[in-house]
Amino acid sequence: MSHVTTHILDAATGTPAVGVPVALLHGTGAPLAIAATDAEGRISDLGPDSLEAGAYRLIFDTKAYYGMTGTTTFYPQVTIDFEVVDGVEHYHVPLLLSPFAYSTYRGN
Has residue 1 got a pLDDT over 80?
Answer: no
The answer to whether the annotation marks 3 as part of a ligand binding site is: no
Other Cβ atoms less than 10 A from the Cβ of 20: the count is 25
Confidence bin at 27 (pLDDT 50/70/90): confident
Q: What is the dihedral of CA 62, 68, 74, 76, to 10 degrees?
A: 40
Q: What is the pLDDT of residues 7-23, one digit of tens each?
A: 999 999 999 999 999 99
Residues in the chain: 108
Has residue 25 got a pLDDT over 90?
Answer: yes
The answer to whether the annotation marks 92 as part of a ligand binding site is: no
- Domains of the chain in start order, with CATH, are 4-104 (2.60.40.180)
Q: What is the pLDDT of residues 36-83, one digit of tens each?
A: 999 999 999 898 888 888 999 999 999 999 999 999 999 999 999 999
User: What pLDDT is stored for residue 49 in this prediction?
Assistant: 81
Strand extents, DSSP E, 30-74: 31-36, 42-46, 54-60
